[in-house]
Structure 1
Amino acid sequence: MSEVVYPRESVYNLIPKEEVYTQKPPRYMSKYRETVILEKKSTKDAMRTMGPSKVEVPSPEKYLKKHSKEPKLPEKTQCLTEVRNTRTARKPPIPARTDNPLMGIQTKRDFIKTTTVVPMKPQPTCVDTSKGHKQLLENSGLVPKYIKKKHYGEVPEYLQQRNEEERRAQEEYDNFVREQREQGAMKDLSDEERQAVLQGLKKNWDKLHHEYQGLSVVTDNLSKKAHKERLEMAMKQLENDINLIERFKTIYISNN
């Protein structure tokens, strides 16, 4: 049940309240306390004075001599001399000038010479940055590997196919034009007529251009804007016709 809280100035505050005492838990005591105290006393009593109780006093005869603390080699014994004599065998004498060498004997040095492998050549590399980054020169694109291909210098198949299709289309067009000319439906435009048509188209373009230059700069109504657009379209059509006639030398027209 929660305790009722009254205001500071209240009659109920005059009633004396019972004091509540909280009991603290018992202090922790280790079970090894007595053994630790005994061990500490036993070690402390042994060293009550400054240093150990009994110290061997150095005698004046055993003073420090020169080179006494340097490491010393073991003394030579008969066993060590015998081992050394057994390990170092006496070398054979030098052969005389008249002695013939033994033939057919393969030594270790000859075997090494016969089994040595040719060292591998380092792969050529290309350094492309100031920090030393490098890559293989073969795959860097700096070596013209394409000239070593099997089909180098040959026309690709798709280009051959395209050229063949263009040739067939040109042949079909030439045949169609020949048939139309034989039937009299088309005729070849002469050079004089072609030049006359070209000059006429240029004169018409000059007239339209002169009229276009005379237009007002400000197109403030719809009629001016429409007139300007008509002139631009007509000039553009004349330019296309002039380019077409100048591009092709031979022009066919129908008789109708």
Structure 2
Amino acid sequence: MSEPLNPPESVYHLIPKEEVPSQKAQRYTSKYRPTVLLEEKATKDAMRTMGPAKVEVPSPERYLKKRSKEPKLHEKTQGSKEARHTSTVRKPAVPARTDKPTMGIRTKRDFIKTATAAPMKPRPACVDTRGGHKQLLENSGLVPKYIKKKHYGEVPQYLQRLHEEEMRAQEKYDALVKEQREKRAMKHLTEEERGAALEGLKKSWDELHQEYQGLSFVADNESKKSHRLQLEVSMKQLEDDIQLFERFKTIYIPGK
């Protein structure tokens, strides 16, 4: 329940209450404060003075004069002149008329002789643009200097070497082709070889004919019919070869 606006009177209200002083919150203090104070004191005390630094005060007699800060040359003294005249170093003696001049030293006469010599001729040049661009005539390609070389017009050595290698390769290829052609060429049979081949054909025909005569008259199966037909074909081929060898005296056979 909420308290009433007008509380009822009570004897306890007459008792004086003890005043409790209010306590403020403790002020925040950084933990680095002692270090900062020491550093600040160390830097400030070193430069703490009572006014500007003590320096030598200029004398009233040495006041600033006109043109006193301009650079000045060394003053000539009498002592310097005396030292120059009383120097122990002496110049070399004048050479005699009969002495020969030292080689490599250019004299005034040599310079005059060089200056009065014939002027050098300008190197020939050509202008190749309307703007006046100029280059030496020797490098422009207009001077026929290459035809004056010692080996001008000769075939280079590397081309000669390549030509020789091509010739050797061509000769090797021609020899190989000739050898292959000779192997495939038709071979001519001599009379002895022709007679021997004819005798061999006739002997083979006799053997086949003898085998053919030994066959049965009735061929009642396919194997017998096939064997008879094969013998007839072989004999017919041998008869054609024998007629060919007997008809022609010159016989050529293909090579291997």
The TM-score, its normalising length taken from structure 1, stands at: 0.28
Say which one has the larger Rg: 2
Query: Larger RCO: Structure 1 or Structure 2 (Cα < 8 Å, ≥ 6 residues apart)?
Result: 2
